[in-house]
A and B are shown apart, each in its own frame.
Chain A
Amino acid sequence: MKNIFAVAGVVIKELYRRKDFYVLFIVTILICVVMASINIYNDAHIVRYLKEICLDLIWLCTLVIAVTTTARQIPAERENRTLLPLLAKPLTRVQLILGKFLGCWLACGLTLLCFYAFFGALSASREHQLPVANYFQAALLHWFMLGIIVAFALLGSLIFAAPSSNATICFVLIGGIMFVGRNLDRVALTLREPTRTIVYWLYFVIPHLEFYDMRDLVVHNWPTVPWLYFGLALLYAVFYMGVFLIGACLVFRRKAVN
């Protein structure tokens, strides 16, 4: 466990040394401030459009950070020829994978913390209320969804040749699941066999990332998600993280490191 945390610590340090996060965070703040300064029929209480824009930017930025940070972890170690010395230490391949995953996931958590703190401050400044439970649910579900993505990108970094191709495939798949995933079964009904059966099975196999998208509920001030379903969604995420991590460990076990 100590080894895993040591690797994770290095990944987190890498995040705050790089400029990606700072740039994206400042750009988000600037866009939101500009949007907030727009005068709409002299009504200062209009806020939901601002919340939606801010949340959309947060989703976009955290996705970019999660995928790009994770996709380059193992390839960068291999390129810099640091992978072999790293594994020469008392560190197993499984520990390395888990460390990288934990580091990326925690780094995403820290990023989310900053973004949601800004989002909370922005909406509270206009709405004069802070629904902490809603924001907590939204942020935690978001973080667990990023966990699935980090695990998937880590698996991808061991399968695909370059970080760029891995990142592109990740973005395409994430976009596809977010936009169509919920209705894939209905899409399947319009297709012919055997595509219908394949797409229908795909619907049950893919991780349904849309479960973790509470943006509409937060923007429009809906009540919190029932805590039972909230907990089940977290378990669902843990299951998929486990599946992708086991896959990554199995692939990495047979992979040549030099």
Chain B
Amino acid sequence: MAASRTYFWLLVVLLVLCFGAAARLEPQFQFMRLSDDRKHWVVDLHTDLNVKPLRLSRATGDFFNVALGDSRRMFANNFYVKADEYYHSGYYPSIFDDNAAFKTAHMAEDTGAVSTKNSGDEHGFLGPTRNWIDAFGRHFFPDRHTHLDAGGPQDDLSNSGDVREILPWLKLSSDLDPDNVQTYTVTAFWLRERMNNAPEAEAVLHDGLRNCPGSYDILFELGRVYDESYHEHGRARNVWEEAARQWKKTYPNLNPEEQKDSLLVMEQIATHLAKLEEDAGNLPKAIDWLQQAQKVSETPDVLQKDIDRVKYKLSLEFNPILKPLY
């Protein structure tokens, strides 16, 4: 009894020491920042845009970094998957099921800016019933593949706003791992697309840019907010051009798999810019962007048709068709 009491008091003392040390040290981290190459600490007594804030400060409300350390990324990923599970209204494979069709979150895939790694049958990952217990048990949990975006379990398209239910988990995920770009883009896409909440989407993306400066994914999504929601085409052009510049700068430093994934975003950036330029009447620029998109596209033939179409449109400006006199 006496021994256990000693251990208990030792535990209490350790706990107090840990919290005391944390409370003593933590405010000092407000001035410490990690350098751009993330290799050494720098004391940030003035604003330097080349260094990234570590965000260990209580003042910024970032409790998770202090409490969880690097393990927060694991939890962040878990909550990201949880959001995708909500997107499927609970119909989601467990570790015992075939998850080949769920390698890339469908909620991210449906934004159109994420390359997919999914294969296999997303509808029947449960497979045929194995025995009577399995067959009977399937009546007590979701057993049909649906997307909240497409009406969910009720198959009612007027309920597509229910996709809002994924947002708490995405918010938690981005709080835990502020460096995950996809969380911001997915959150912003659904806020803009289904909630019609462009100001919140823009705020999320700006928050993302603060945490991941120069992210071409976030810049692309921000351009879509300006172009599709605010109809501010000039701002959209500026943001997308910056996204293209950032992609060109980042691409050589990515690993082969990341390079492959980034091609789809670049194609999207270039085609959106081409469309913008075409609508503005800048046809040579539009052709230029389409050709850039063609270089990174998996379907260059389709883009060639677009290039031919714009070239024909351009030729009409310089060589008007001669109309017959009679």
The residue that A41 contacts in the complex, of B137, B139, B167, with Cβ under 8 A, is B167
Q: Is B168's beta carbon under 8 Å from chain A?
A: yes
Q: Are B142 and A183 in contact (CB under 8 A)?
A: no
Q: Are B140 and A222 in contact (CB under 8 A)?
A: no
Q: Are B167 and A216 in contact (CB under 8 A)?
A: no
Scoring A141, A217, A219 by chain B CB atoms within 10 A of each residue's CB, the highest score goes to: A217
A43 to B195, CA, bound (A): 9
Residues of B within 8 A of A45 (CB): 161, 164
Identify which of A69-77, A85-93, A226-234, A245-253 touches chain B. A226-234
Scoring A211, A220, A233 by chain B CB atoms within 10 A of each residue's CB, the highest score goes to: A220
Q: Are B96 and A214 in contact (CB under 8 A)?
A: no
A223 to B167, CA, bound (A): 23
B residues 78-94 in Cβ contact with A at 8 Å: 86, 89-90, 94
Q: Are A185 and B171 in contact (CB under 8 A)?
A: no
- Interface flags for B184-207 (1: CB within 8 Å of A; 0: not) read 000000010001010010001000
A203 to B140, CA, bound (A): 18
- Contact status of A226 and B139, CB under 8 A, knowing A40-B168, A49-B169, A220-B153: yes
Residues of B within 8 A of A204 (CB): 133
Categorize the interface residue count of chain B. Answer: 20 to 34
In the complex, what's the smallest C-beta–C-beta distance from B132 to chain A, in angstroms?
A: 9
- Contact status of A41 and B136, CB under 8 A, knowing A185-B130, A213-B141: no
A residues 151-167 in Cβ contact with B at 8 Å: none
Q: Is B152's beta carbon under 8 Å from chain A?
A: yes
- Contact status of A186 and B96, CB under 8 A, knowing A211-B136, A220-B89, A226-B139: yes
In the complex, what's the smallest C-beta–C-beta distance from B279 to chain A, in angstroms?
A: 31
Q: Are B141 and A43 in contact (CB under 8 A)?
A: no
- Contact status of A40 and B197, CB under 8 A, knowing A220-B89, A225-B139, A232-B136: no
A224 to B94, CA, bound (A): 23
A residues 23-80 in Cβ contact with B at 8 Å: 38, 40-43, 45-49
Q: Are B140 and A212 in contact (CB under 8 A)?
A: yes
Q: Are A216 and B142 in contact (CB under 8 A)?
A: yes
A254 to B154, CA, bound (A): 56
Q: Is A182's beta carbon under 8 Å from chain B?
A: yes
- Contact status of A41 and B90, CB under 8 A, knowing A183-B96, A221-B153, A225-B140: no
Please name the residue on chain B nearest to A35 by beta carbon. B168
Q: Is B298's beta carbon under 8 Å from chain A?
A: no
The residue that A210 contacts in the complex, of B140, B165, B168, with Cβ under 8 A, is B140
- Interface flags for B108-138 (1: CB within 8 Å of A; 0: not) read 0000000000000000000000110110110
The residue that A43 contacts in the complex, of B90, B130, B136, B167, with Cβ under 8 A, is B167
Q: Are A217 and B90 in contact (CB under 8 A)?
A: yes
In the complex, what's the smallest C-beta–C-beta distance from B186 to chain A, in angstroms?
A: 13
Residues of A within 8 A of B130 (CB): 185-186
Residues of B within 8 A of A219 (CB): 90
The residue that A222 contacts in the complex, of B136, B137, B153, B195, with Cβ under 8 A, is B153
Residues of B within 8 A of A212 (CB): 140
The residue that B131 contacts in the complex, of A48, A185, A217, with Cβ under 8 A, is A185
The residue that B171 contacts in the complex, of A41, A216, A223, with Cβ under 8 A, is A41
- Interface flags for A182-217 (1: CB within 8 Å of B; 0: not) read 110111000000000000000110001011111011
Residues of B within 8 A of A210 (CB): 137, 140-141
The residue that B137 contacts in the complex, of A42, A48, A182, A223, with Cβ under 8 A, is A182
Please name the residue on chain B nearest to A53 by beta carbon. B168
Residues of B within 8 A of A232 (CB): 136
Residues of A within 8 A of B161 (CB): 45
In the complex, what's the smallest C-beta–C-beta distance from A107 to chain B, in angstroms?
A: 25
- Contact status of A220 and B154, CB under 8 A, knowing A40-B167, A48-B165: no
Please name the residue on chain A nearest to B141 by beta carbon. A216
Q: Are B140 and A211 in contact (CB under 8 A)?
A: yes
Q: Are A229 and B139 in contact (CB under 8 A)?
A: yes
Q: Are B142 and A208 in contact (CB under 8 A)?
A: no
Q: Could you write out 29 A-B pairs with CB less than 8 Å apart?
A: A38-B168, A40-B168, A41-B167, A41-B171, A41-B197, A41-B200, A41-B204, A42-B200, A43-B167, A45-B164, A49-B168, A141-B140, A182-B137, A186-B96, A187-B96, A203-B133, A210-B137, A210-B141, A211-B136, A212-B140, A217-B140, A217-B141, A217-B142, A220-B89, A220-B90, A220-B152, A222-B89, A222-B153, A233-B140
Give 11 A-B pairs besides A45-B164, A185-B134, A212-B140 with Cβ atoms closer than 8 angstroms: A40-B171, A43-B197, A46-B165, A49-B165, A141-B140, A185-B131, A210-B140, A217-B141, A220-B89, A229-B136, A233-B140
Which 5 pairs of residues, A with B, have the shortest CB-CB distance?
Answer: A216-B90, A220-B89, A183-B96, A49-B168, A229-B139
Chain A interface (Cβ < 8 Å from any Cβ of B):
38, 40-43, 45-49, 141, 182-183, 185-187, 203-204, 208, 210-214, 216-217, 219-223, 225-226, 229, 232-233
Chain B interface (Cβ < 8 Å from any Cβ of A):
86, 89-90, 94, 96, 130-131, 133-134, 136-137, 139-142, 152-154, 161, 164-165, 167-169, 171, 191, 195, 197, 200, 204
